[in-house]
Amino acid sequence: MQTSNEPSDAVKLIAEIQKAIREEGLDGWLFCNFRCRDRLASEILCRPENLINTRFWFYAVPSSGEPLGLVHAIEPDHLEGLPGTIRSYSGREELLGLLAPLAEKRWAAHISESISAVSFLDAGMYTVLSKAGLILVSAENMIQRLKGVLDQEGIASHERASAALYGIVEKAWDYAGFSYKNGTSIYEGELRQVMEDELTRLNLVRNHPPQAAAGINSANPHYDCRGRGSIIRKGDIIQLDLWAKEQFPRAGNAGIYADISWAGVYGKKAGLEEERAFADLVEVREAVLGFIDETFAGNKTLTGAEIDAYCRSLLCAKGYAGAIRHRTGHGIDTETHGSGVNIDSVEFPDARRLLEGSCFSLEPGIYFSGYGFRTEVNVYIAGGRPVISGPGAGQGRQFSLLTC
């Protein structure tokens, strides 16, 4: 029970934000939103989802001292409940006058040249703020500190979701095996529905149904079967991809996603080419996991770009340069593709370093003209070391193609 001597949740949040600002050596963090386009600003500051946000609001949190909020006169309640001085404006000149005390200081803002997932400030308002004398730098590192790392409860939530997904993969493959042994027709949509039904039964939240891709469709990393999808034929490679989080794991907090991918063959045995390619893929995955572990064991850390570059170098050395279509992984938190470090050196190069509590997928994939696959595990940093989530501290991860 909270007493009058205990700080409110909003005060605790500001203290956490200011700690992140000081750790990054900046003067402050400038949040703003228009038409609720910046979901991260709204989420971090706990703004209601149904705000009528037709004018910009601003909330400037300095490294120490009292925050300053600016709201439009017709939307005065948008920063309600947040600490600090809240002032209103009704025109551009008035807004510029209120922004004047923020000039000549380095403010973190939701901009990024490389990480689009955290870049929401539009070019027009960026120009207005810059002309007003504010020095804007990317808030990508602080967004990671505030949202992209897990505490112990978050790790526990992630592990529960992970255990559930591993069980769902097993049920889906049992269904495929039963159909194969009985010679009955099976469609991608049926496998997808088995996974979807289990996710619903377990009350797990997901932002999109899981994926079941067979044959040539497995060569499409973001294949989305519609209706029944394609019929699965003997010898087809099948790629399963599923992600979910708990709905209400703990009071006042959102669940943490898990996101895994498994591959199999609709038959007793895969072809030699397919077996060799998947074995190479697993070997690379394990080498990357070893690389991460050895680096952290030496009291060093890694960027997402460094991990991805290392993985790509191993795949290229095995002759798969032309078969790589996507990055090696992404941050995981309350969203499937979260705000933390992405394992990416090519698409959206991520120079941020893994921190204590960072959680991410490791999912190397290779894709050819007639089939493709990836193997995806999740990793988080705990006690200064990487931990593979899932049953048996990650020992239940896939090492060979599933067969019927």
In whole angstroms, give the CA distance from residue 312 to residue 302. 15
Please answer whether residues 210 and 196 qualify as being in contact, where contact means their C-beta atoms are separated by less than 8 angstroms.
yes
- C-alpha closest to that of 381 among 273, 314, 259, 295: 295
* Host H or E run for residue 317: helix 304-317
Residue 391 has pLDDT above 80, yes or no: yes
Q: Indicate the pairing of strand 85-89 with strand 68-72.
A: parallel
When pLDDT is averaged across residues 52-68 and rounded to a whole number, the result is 97
Helix/strand/coil (H/E/C) assignment for every residue in 56-88: CEEEEEECCCCCEEEEECCCCCCCCCCCCEEEE
Please answer whether residues 146 and 99 qualify as being in contact, where contact means their C-beta atoms are separated by less than 8 angstroms.
no
Please answer whether residues 332 and 338 qualify as being in contact, where contact means their C-beta atoms are separated by less than 8 angstroms.
yes
Residue 253 confidence (pLDDT) = 61
Mean pLDDT across the chain: 95
Please answer whether residues 108 and 138 qualify as being in contact, where contact means their C-beta atoms are separated by less than 8 angstroms.
yes
When pLDDT is averaged across residues 97-126 and rounded to a whole number, the result is 96
Residue 249 confidence (pLDDT) = 55
> 345 in helix, strand or coil?
coil
Kindly indicate the confidence band of residue 7, based on its pLDDT and cuts at 50, 70 and 90. confident
Residue 2 confidence (pLDDT) = 42
pLDDT tens sequence across 329-344? 999 999 999 999 999 9
> 358 in helix, strand or coil?
strand
> Kindly report the CA angle at 342 between 341 and 347, in degrees rounded to 5?
140
The pTM assigned to this predicted structure is: 0.92
Share of the chain above pLDDT 70, in %: 97
